[in-house]
């Protein structure tokens, strides 16, 4: 496994994840200003001897208001975003607000966590009503744009329920078993053009695929 600043085998070290996560968050903040930024959540009680005094942690997307329009055309099924409405709502950490067909508020939390077993990032998420009741996977799929549901059916991605590795609560996660393989393909494609994928672009490339599954797309400028 490459431990430097480039990726060739599809996997990341803990240190590489820290570098890639911060680079992803910085690019998101610059090129995706319609969304609030991703936040780095340090794991205070998990000290690792990473170089440059980097700390172990994970990324969290906080306080995003997403309105699912019932009048969207098939050509534009990505979720509409409105952040100014948050000032009128009670502040809730790590949440996304989805307006579904029944006009019932649905909240979503998204975390990008490093898997020490697979040595790749993993997307964890959960959905719940305004009263705190958790949403079933069937309800969550109804909140997703139809293109995201189609991607789930057509691909090998699977959602499974598993305890969050740091919060000790049930969350859904997008199973990471195929991540190494398709990231490796992207890396080999970069090598064929005379260069390797830099670690800084790892999470950007990864989320350009994974984000679509949950209805979140990244601007193409982030891939540059």
Is 195 catalytic? The answer is no
Q: CB 155: neighbour CB atoms within 10 A?
A: 13
For residue 11, give both structure tokens.
């996997």
Alpha carbon distance 208, 220 (integer Å)? 9
Burial classification of residue 8, based on how many CB atoms lie within 10 Å of its CB (0-12 exposed, 13-18 middle, 19 or more buried): middle
Alpha carbon distance 101, 139 (integer Å)? 11
Give me the sign of the Cα torsion angle 155, 156, 159, 164: negative
Q: Which of 85, 129, 147, 177 is catalytic?
A: 177
In degrees and rounded to multiples of 5, residue 75 shows phi and psi of -75, -15
Catalytic residue positions, numbered:
177
């Amino acid at each position: 496994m490459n431990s430097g600043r480039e990726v060739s085998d599809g996997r990341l070290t803990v240190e590489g994840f820290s570098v890639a996560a911060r680079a992803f968050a910085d690019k998101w903040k610059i090129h995706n200003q319609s969304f609030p930024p991703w936040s780095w959540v340090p794991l205070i009680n998990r000290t690792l001897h990473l170089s440059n005094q980097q700390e172990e942690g994970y990324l969290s997307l906080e306080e995003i208001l997403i309105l699912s329009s019932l009048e969207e055309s098939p050509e534009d099924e990505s979720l509409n975003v409105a952040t100014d409405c948050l000032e009128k709502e009670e502040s809730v950490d790590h949440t996304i607000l989805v307006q579904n067909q029944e006009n019932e508020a649905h909240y979503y939390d998204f975390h990008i966590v490093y898997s020490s077993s697979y040595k790749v990032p993993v997307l964890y998420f959960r959905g719940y009503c305004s009263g705190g009741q958790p949403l079933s996977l069937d309800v969550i799929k109804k909140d997703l744009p139809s293109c995201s549901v189609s991607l789930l059916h057509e691909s090998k991605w699977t959602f499974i329920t598993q305890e969050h590795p740091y919060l000790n609560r049930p969350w859904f996660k997008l199973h990471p078993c195929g991540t190494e393989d398709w990231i490796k393909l992207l890396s080999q494609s970069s090598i064929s053009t005379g260069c390797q994928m830099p670690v800084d672009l790892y999470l950007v490339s990864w989320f350009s695929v994974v984000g679509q599954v949950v209805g979140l797309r990244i601007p193409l400028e982030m891939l540059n």
